[in-house]
């Protein structure tokens, strides 16, 4: 990882932001971070992804079971994005996505499926996922995907 050099302080949505140069990329990290839910049953892989994302300034909550992630989200916890392993024990990715869509406060939450399945793009489209990342995950593509969803997230106001 390259040296992180602060470049400018700006205001966005009324929140102080710090723009950082990270290698060739530039990103904004707000004082209220972008929260990501990561559902992955491979602990080593989950820990690696979470570390990369946390190093970039994201908040990451990791679940090994989709049921636990759904329960957490239904309890009112906020996240901007779900990174969902396509094949975890228990609930299927299709059922996970269906539960999100059936819940008004969660229906627009983007889900990015992650898998080594060669048909991942087709499967992602079939379940209504926002995007797909193939394993092994390209870190630059992961970060660009997360950046895009976090930049598009609504203002972190309280519950509607």
For residue 25 the two structure tokens come to: 């990329």
Q: Are residues 53 and 102 in the same domain?
A: yes
Q: Are residues 104 and 126 in the same domain?
A: yes
The b/e string for 108-130 (b: 16+ C-beta within 10 A; e otherwise) is ebbbbbbbebeebeebbeebebb
Could you tell me if residue 159 is inside a domain? no
Q: Which CATH number belongs to the domain containing residue 118 in this structure?
A: 3.40.50.2300
Could you tell me if residue 77 is inside a domain? yes
Closest CA to 113 of 145, 140, 148: 145
Could you tell me if residue 38 is inside a domain? yes
Q: Which domain holds residue 103?
A: 33-151
Could you tell me if residue 92 is inside a domain? yes
Could you tell me if residue 9 is inside a domain? yes
pLDDT in tens, the chain (160 residues): 433 333 333 223 333 344 444 433 434 444 347 999 999 999 999 999 999 999 999 999 999 999 999 999 999 999 999 999 999 888 999 999 999 999 999 999 999 999 999 999 999 999 999 999 999 999 999 999 999 999 876 544 444 4
Q: Are residues 47 and 125 in the same domain?
A: yes
For residue 85 the two structure tokens come to: 């392993």
Query: Into how many domains does the chain fold?
Result: 2
Pairing mode, strands 35-39 and 131-134 = unpaired
For residue 37 the two structure tokens come to: 């839910």
Q: Are residues 15 and 69 in the same domain?
A: no
Closest CA to 20 of 9, 12, 31: 9
């Amino acid at each position: 990882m390259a040296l992180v050099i602060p470049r400018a302080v700006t205001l966005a949505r009324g929140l102080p932001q710090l723009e950082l140069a990270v290698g060739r990329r530039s990103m904004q990290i707000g004082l209220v971070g972008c929260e990501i839910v990561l559902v992955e049953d491979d602990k080593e892989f989950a820990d690696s992804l979470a570390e990369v994302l946390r190093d970039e300034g994201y908040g990451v909550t990791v679940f090994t079971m989709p049921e636990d992630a759904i329960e957490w989200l239904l309890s009112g916890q906020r996240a901007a994005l779900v990174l969902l392993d396509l094949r975890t024990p228990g609930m299927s990715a299709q059922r996970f996505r269906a539960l999100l869509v059936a819940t008004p406060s969660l229906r627009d939450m983007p889900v990015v499926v992650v898998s080594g399945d060669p048909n991942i793009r087709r499967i992602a489209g079939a379940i209504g996922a926002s995007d797909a990342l193939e394993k092994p995950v390209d870190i630059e593509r992961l970060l660009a995907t997360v950046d895009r969803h976090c930049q598009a997230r609504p203002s972190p106001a309280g519950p509607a």
